[in-house]
Amino acid sequence: MTDRRSFIQQSAALLGGLALHTTVRGAYPELAPERPVLDGNQGEGSFWYNVRAAYACSPTLINLNNGGVSPAPRAAMEALDHYNRMCNEAPSYYMWRILDQDREPLRMNLAALAGVPHDELAICRNATEALNGIIFGLPLKAGDEVVVSTYDYPNMANAWKQRALRDGVKLVYADPDLPSTDDEAIVEAFASKFTAKTKLVHITHIVNWNGQILPVRKIADAAHAKGIEVLVDAAHSFALLDYTIPDLGCDYWGTSLHKFLCAPFGNGLMWVKKEKIGKLWPLLSNDKPQGDDIRKFESLGTRSFPIEMATGYSIDLHNLIGSQRKQERVHSLKLHWMDQVKDVPGITFHTSTDPRYSCAIGCFGKEGMKATAISEQLFAKWKIHTVAIEREAKPGIEAPFNHVRVTPNVYTTMQELDRLVEAIHAL
């Protein structure tokens, strides 16, 4: 108890600069050490039920599509409302003279979480904006090769196709056989595409289509051995997996903060290694486009300061839970439902259950059924919200899919997943 109280107080001291409350405990009273213990359910302790209480979850709909976007905790929502009202009292004063100054403490808090210097992070609106800023900012020319994957997110795939169309950059597609638990095979799928003309490899850390975790560091090491730069799409991995950016060994990185960090919608983060900032052109105009100040990527004009400022509360809650505990919890939730339906006739999995190769996302299909039909039934009969993943194959460019993606988050209960299990059995 003493250790826990000390941890909360230390977290508050470090992160309270952005908070309306003076302590993390004040922002999240349901997680206070002295709060009465709630009755557990199926081995779940009071801590996770209190985490649940920190969110305004729907009592009638089970949200299992947190891979798309996650809800913000109550404290972040209240802060967002507070800052919105503040800004609208005197917009130009509170926005530009007050809240604009608080982006630097936010940048420092995010840098502490990401494990990098704060002057290497740019705050943006989502992973698409972060990664597009890098993709279109790189000084590539006609004939330069970029290794991408048949499993990349559509917005990133389209950005690279546009770069190829506009500048003559050649795209070379790695096509690993996923899901997989074979690091060597995955690395080889990328490394076999490297040539003397390869300038960069684009790696999706967690594949949004099926939840596969790629061995980014091993691919990055193979690329760097040949003088090739590395860009990582971390939209689904940041604030879910227990890692810091240096662990990946990459040169460029981008993520969304409204997924597993549960920040208010429209939050993202770009990271560029310090010595590479100067050569990267900003996507939007800046007075020093070839400067080495990371803030040149933030020349957005009028933006939502309340969204940024409320992110501090989401960071507080994440740190209170802890990265390792969060990753283990979410993975255990995935195993909870997958273990109970693995023997159902006709059910197939499209995600590994090995914690080294998957975490929150679990995908399943049923023989003879379209994913959309399964997802529609889950919602119509059980009010379970999932997402159908269907895509026809484009050999060598896009991998095919026909399965339902299930993504819990820390506020999800095992009781909710038991309803999913019941529903799958009923299919």
Query: Is 318 inside a domain boundary?
Result: no
Q: How far apart are CA 40 and CA 201, in angstroms?
A: 47
Q: What is the pLDDT of residue 406?
A: 98
Residues 405 and 380 in one domain: yes
Phi, psi of 365, deg, nearest 5: -135, 170
Residues 173 and 118 in one domain: yes
Average pLDDT over residues 80-89: 93
CATH number at residue 342: 3.90.1150.10
- Let me know the angle formed at the C-alpha of 121 by 218 and 136, rounded to the nearest 5 degrees: 75
Residues 260 and 358 in one domain: no
- How many domains does the chain contain in total? 2
**Of the residues 244, 279, 312, which one is the last residue of a structural domain?**
312
Q: What is the pLDDT of residue 27?
A: 62
Residues 162 and 240 in one domain: yes
Q: Which residue has the higher pLDDT, 383 or 22?
A: 383
* Cβ pair 233, 223 in contact under 8 A: no
Q: Which residue has the higher pLDDT, 71 or 6?
A: 71
Query: Is 184 inside a domain boundary?
Result: yes
Q: How far apart are CA 116 and CA 6, in angstroms?
A: 25
Q: Identify the three-state secondary structure at position 421.
A: helix
Task: Say which range, 3-7, 98-102, 250-254, 403-407, has the weakest mean pLDDT.
Answer: 3-7
Query: Is 63 inside a domain boundary?
Result: no
Q: Percent of the chain beyond pLDDT 90?
A: 81
Q: pLDDT of 255-278, one tens digit each?
A: 999 999 999 999 999 999 999 999
Residues 196 and 294 in one domain: yes
Q: pLDDT of 27-81, one tens digit each?
A: 666 565 434 333 334 446 688 989 999 999 888 999 999 999 999 999 999 999 9
**Of the residues 254, 282, 312, which one is the last residue of a structural domain?**
312
Q: pLDDT of 101-139, one tens digit each?
A: 888 999 999 999 999 999 999 999 999 999 999 999 999
Q: What is the pLDDT of residue 1?
A: 43
Q: What is the pLDDT of residue 300?
A: 86
Exposure string for 331-341, b = 16+ CB within 10 A, e = fewer: bebbebbbebb
* Cβ pair 329, 287 in contact under 8 A: no
Residues 366 and 409 in one domain: yes
Query: Is 284 inside a domain boundary?
Result: yes
Average pLDDT over residues 240-269: 97
Q: How far apart are CA 395 and CA 386, in angstroms?
A: 27
Average pLDDT over residues 174-185: 97
Query: Is 70 inside a domain boundary?
Result: no
Residues 281 and 352 in one domain: no
Q: What is the pLDDT of residue 30?
A: 58
Average pLDDT over residues 83-89: 92
Residue 63: beta bridge partners? Answer: 385
Q: Is the pLDDT of residue 150 over 60?
A: yes
Query: Is 20 inside a domain boundary?
Result: no
CATH number at residue 274: 3.40.640.10
Q: What is the pLDDT of residue 26?
A: 57
Domain of 246?
Answer: 96-312
Give the full edge-to-edge strand order of the sheet including 252-256.
Answer: 121-124, 268-272, 252-256, 229-233, 198-204, 145-149, 170-174
Mean per-residue pLDDT over the chain, rounded: 90
Q: What is the pLDDT of residue 207?
A: 98
Average pLDDT over residues 145-162: 97
Query: Is 32 inside a domain boundary?
Result: no
- pTM for this one? 0.89
Nearest to 233 by CA among 259, 213, 203: 203
Residues 268 and 341 in one domain: no
Residues 146 and 291 in one domain: yes
Q: What is the pLDDT of residue 34?
A: 39
Query: Is 53 inside a domain boundary?
Result: no
